[in-house]
Amino acid sequence: MKIFISGLCLALLVSCKKENNPDVPHGSPKDSTVAQAGTLSSGKSPETTDQIKQEFTVLNEQLLAKKLDSTGFDYHCEELEGEVHFYYDQQKLRMVKHFISDSHYSSVAKYYIKNDKVFFIFKEDTLWQFDGGTPEKPITKDSINQQRIYLQNDNPIQCLEKNFIIRSVGKNIDPETVPNKEGKCDVKELMKTYQTILKNKDKKDKVLCL
């Protein structure tokens, strides 16, 4: 299953295709030209969910086109492996991606930033377990939870969540067809981790624990 985790990590890199990008906000506009006209030109931080969707679209286009500079570091803490990547536009931090995994669990959190403020967080947690089969050919099941969190002044103003299962054998549901549900998000731990990541962003050596 470590092969799957490695595959998941690669799949979540920003080089993936936009139409398969899982962190796109629900209802995000697809016209990046319109988004650019409505957000970056003003230089202001997005405040409403519509503005956040527009700002996300512009930033995501830059990420997919690999127009942003990037740095990062790895860390190891007991059985937990972690990777952190920072993305910059003209030396301004625009996105932070934090990936962690152990033998049965992986999680990725992406923090989208403007004017030093996080305005959107995409988080995906994956828990895998055996689900039948034989010792020679086991079947596995991945239970996946996704959260899309819109923020204003570090506080969530909307939280969308979806859950689905992917099995290693048989036909699976298309995650894009799973509807988002409104929920309540507690971002305290996510933002605490984010602040810890920022404190370590200039580390050159491998970090032992965050």
Sign of CA dihedral 64, 68, 74, 79: negative
Which one has a higher pLDDT value, 10 or 143?
Answer: 143
Q: What is the pLDDT of residue 42?
A: 64
CA 41 to chain centre: 25
Q: What is the pLDDT of residue 26?
A: 59
19 pLDDT more than 50:
no
Summarised one tens digit per residue, pLDDT across range 184-195 is 888 999 999 999
Nearest to 124 by CA among 163, 174, 173: 163
User: Does any domain span residue 119?
Assistant: yes
Which one has a higher pLDDT value, 1 or 60?
Answer: 60
User: Does any domain span residue 182?
Assistant: yes
* Spatial separation of the C-alpha atoms in residues 90 and 204, rounded to whole Å: 21
b/e per residue 145-170 (b: at least 16 CB within 10 A): ebbbbbbbeeebebbbbbeeebebee
* Spatial separation of the C-alpha atoms in residues 169 and 171, rounded to whole Å: 7
Summarised one tens digit per residue, pLDDT across range 113-136 is 999 999 999 999 999 988 888 888
Q: Measure the CA angle with vertex 69, ends 64 and 71; round to 5°.
A: 110
User: Does any domain span residue 147?
Assistant: yes
User: Does any domain span residue 210?
Assistant: no
Of 24-38, 115-129, 131-145, minimum mean pLDDT range: 24-38
Phi, psi at 90, each rounded to 5°? 55, 50
What is the span of the domain harbouring residue 166?
2-199
User: Does any domain span residue 205?
Assistant: no
pLDDT band at 16 (very low <50, low <70, confident <90, very high): very low
User: Does any domain span residue 204?
Assistant: no
* Mean pLDDT, residues 38-49: 72
User: Does any domain span residue 207?
Assistant: no
* pTM of the predicted protein model: 0.81
Q: Structural domain tally of the chain?
A: 1
